[in-house]
Amino acid sequence: MNADLGRLLSLQAADREIARLRDEIAALPKRISDVEAKLTTARAQVENARGKIKAGESARRKYEADIQAERQKISKYRDQSLEVKTNEQYKALLHEISFAEQTIRSAEDKILETMVEAEDQEKLVRAAEAELKAQTAIIEREKAEVRARTSDDERELAEWTGKRNQLRSDINADTLAHYDRVLRLRGSGVAEVRDGKCSACNVLLRPQELQEVMTQEAVMTCNSCGRILVVTEPPARPAPKPEAQPAAEASA
């Protein structure tokens, strides 16, 4: 077997592993930013619910002041009613009193509504705070994991890069240049031959080519995609024929 073919196959494995590790290292910070985004959402929910509670409180104070003012009006009307001269004036004051009472009732309803709303918002605050606490714990764990994973990946990356450089220095320069060109162009530089085909582009090899490739004596490339062809599995043997069984229904 041509020594470069084995090295090229190992080089391809190294290049793939290096690419995978680089992608993983690049993707790791995203795990943290995902949790941080959840944290930001939970924080905003807490802020929002607290804002609503505050708004509800000031609305409640306003309704209470309104009620106070209406009560003062009523007591003023009652005092005036003792001094009116005509029935018409008296009726007008009664009307004012009933109107003020109406206003008080509606303000009392509003106060109840704000209290119910406040209870709902308190629940939201508690839930969002619990979420915040949980996500804060998760982010600490994630950060530690990401740090550990990144340093593992970087160590592996250094090892693979060392292997890769060694392999590259052992491979024929022209072959290596061809491999690099096809790798850049197609994402891989080596393809296995399977069932008489280039397994990367699926193009059938001509019998003469196939025969030459199977000997593995020279570096050969796929006519269609340009990848360097290697053979990693023994040629498929024909499947053994099932033993002939006497047909059961023929015996009657």
Measured between alpha carbons, how far is 105 from 119 in angstroms, rounded to an integer? Answer: 21
- Report if residue 205 touches Zn ion, rule: CB under 5 A: no
Options 54-62, 196-204, 205-213, 244-252: segment touching Zn ion (CB under 5 A): 196-204
Options 5-13, 75-83, 153-161, 224-232: segment touching Zn ion (CB under 5 A): 224-232
C-beta closer to Zn ion: residue 45 or 224: 224
Measured between alpha carbons, how far is 102 from 96 in angstroms, rounded to an integer? Answer: 10
**Could you say which residues in the range 119-178 bind Zn ion, by CB under 5 A?**
none
- Report if residue 14 touches Zn ion, rule: CB under 5 A: no
CB of 39 to Zn ion, least distance (A): 49
Measured between alpha carbons, how far is 1 from 229 in angstroms, rounded to an integer? Answer: 13
Measured between alpha carbons, how far is 52 from 114 in angstroms, rounded to an integer? Answer: 10
C-beta closer to Zn ion: residue 156 or 180: 180
Helix (H, G, I), strand (E, B) or coil at 173: helix
Q: Give all strands of the β-sheet with 228-230 in edge-to-edge order.
A: 197-198, 190-194, 228-230, 220-221
- Report if residue 8 touches Zn ion, rule: CB under 5 A: no
Identify the residue among 111, 190, 222, 228 touching Zn ion (CB under 5 A).
222
Identify the residue among 18, 20, 224, 231 touching Zn ion (CB under 5 A).
224
CB of 216 to Zn ion, least distance (A): 17
Measured between alpha carbons, how far is 77 from 137 in angstroms, rounded to an integer? Answer: 63
Q: Which long-range contacts (CB under 8 A, 24 or more apart) does 130-136 make?
A: 131/38, 131/42, 131/45, 132/39, 132/42, 132/43, 132/46, 135/35, 135/38, 135/39, 135/42, 136/39
- Report if residue 231 touches Zn ion, rule: CB under 5 A: no
Question: Residue 11 has which token pair?
Answer: 């080089």
Identify the residue among 13, 157, 201, 231 touching Zn ion (CB under 5 A).
201
CB of 197 to Zn ion, least distance (A): 8
Question: Which positions touch Zn ion (CB under 5 A)?
Answer: 198, 200-201, 222, 224-225
